[in-house]
Amino acid sequence: MRASDPPSRVARGRDPSMERTRDEVVQLLHRHGERSVTDLADAIGVSAGSIRRHMDIMAAEGLIETRLVRHGRGRPATVYSLTEAGEERVSAGHYHRLLDRLYPALAALPEEEVGGRDGQGVLDRVFGGLAESVAREHAPQVNAEGIGERVQQVTSALRLEGILSEAHDDGDVFRLSNACCPYRSCAQDNHAACDADRRTIELLLGRPVEQLATVATGAEVCEYIVHKDAPPTDRGAPVLDG
């Protein structure tokens, strides 16, 4: 410790329990979107006062932002959400996984798939190959015949990928959503990443999937719908075989 370093700041930065709590907060906000202090305290099992101290630190680090929400009369409630910097902190693992998959996808492109295409065309083909690769990797986890159970299996399988977080039965459709983009910077620069996520879901479900909104274009969540009466697609061969 340097003499000029405030002891409390150094100790705070190295306290493993505080770091774990902050990591839990970041993960909760990443999976579920904006939450209040009470929501976070209940989910983690610590006091509201403790969460507020963590939120002050994380706000100073630029990881979270606040918004006031009014519910009728009375004081508005403060809710917290991740900033882009906070999302990128969670997404580091997703970027590593993406990079690990990009080279094999590029190497697997036959020459006729590249020749004559512009840069966007090549990117679309590469990310299309990535969608097939991710779907193939998770296919063993998705084996239900009924569409409702299959939606839940796909959501669970793609949760660690950062592609999906929740799924809800909404009458004639299932609504699938994700509170944070797994690689926002990439998705903001090019639509191919978002298209690949939708295609991955579609391949695993074996049903057409419509993308309603994306975080990368300014929406609060990435949202997809699956119509219950939609005919099955040919999800299997050759994409998901082997």
Structure confidence by residue, pLDDT tens digits, 57-114: 999 988 899 988 887 777 888 999 888 788 777 766 666 677 777 767 776 777 666 6
**Dist CA 193 CA 121 (whole Å):** 13
The SS3 assignment for 56 reads helix
Q: Given this model, what pLDDT does residue 115 score?
A: 63
CA 97 to each of CA 11, 15, 47, 91, 182: distance values in angstroms, whole numbers, following the listed order: 33, 29, 35, 10, 10
Which domains does the chain carry?
A: 7-82 (1.10.10.10), 94-227 (3.30.1380)
- Please, how many CA atoms are within 13 Å of residue 143, restricted to the half-sphere of its CB? 2
Encode pLDDT of 134-188 as tens digits: 999 999 999 999 999 999 999 999 988 888 989 999 999 999 998 777 777 677 7
CB 204 within 8 A of CB 154: yes
Task: State the pLDDT confidence band at 15, using cuts at 50, 70 and 90.
Answer: low
Amino acid code (one letter) for 171: G
Name the residue among 109, 155, 151 with its Cα closest to residue 132.
Answer: 109
Encode pLDDT of 192-204 as tens digits: 888 999 999 999 9
**Dist CA 206 CA 187 (whole Å):** 24
Query: Model pTM?
Result: 0.65
